[in-house]
Amino acid sequence: MLKALADPSRLCIFNMLMEGVQCNCEIAGHLGFSLSLISHHLRVLHDVGLVQSERDDQDARWIYHSVDRRRLAQLDAAMKTLLDAGRIQPRLPSCGPKSCESC
* pLDDT, tens digit (0-9, with 9 covering 90-100), for 42-82: 999 999 999 999 999 999 889 999 999 999 999 999 999 99
pLDDT of res. 94 = 80
DSSP states along 23-42: EHHHHHHHHT--HHHHHHHH
**What is the per-residue pLDDT for 91?**
81
Distance between CA atoms of residues 55 and 19, nearest Å: 19
CA distance 60 to 50: 22
Q: Is residue 43 part of a domain?
A: yes
The predicted structure's pLDDT at residue 100: 64
Q: pLDDT band at 103, cuts 50/70/90?
A: low
CA-CA distance, 56 to 58, in Å (whole number)? Answer: 6
> Taking 70 as the threshold, does the pLDDT of residue 102 lie above it?
no
- Asked whether residue 67 is domain-assigned, the answer is yes
Q: How many domains does one find in the chain?
A: 1
pTM of structure:
0.82
How many degrees, rounded to 5, is the angle at CA 41 between CA 7 and CA 71?
Answer: 80
Q: Does residue 57 form part of some domain? A: yes
Domain extent at residue 33? 2-80
Per-residue pLDDT reduced to its tens digit, 9-42: 999 999 999 999 999 999 999 999 999 999 999 9
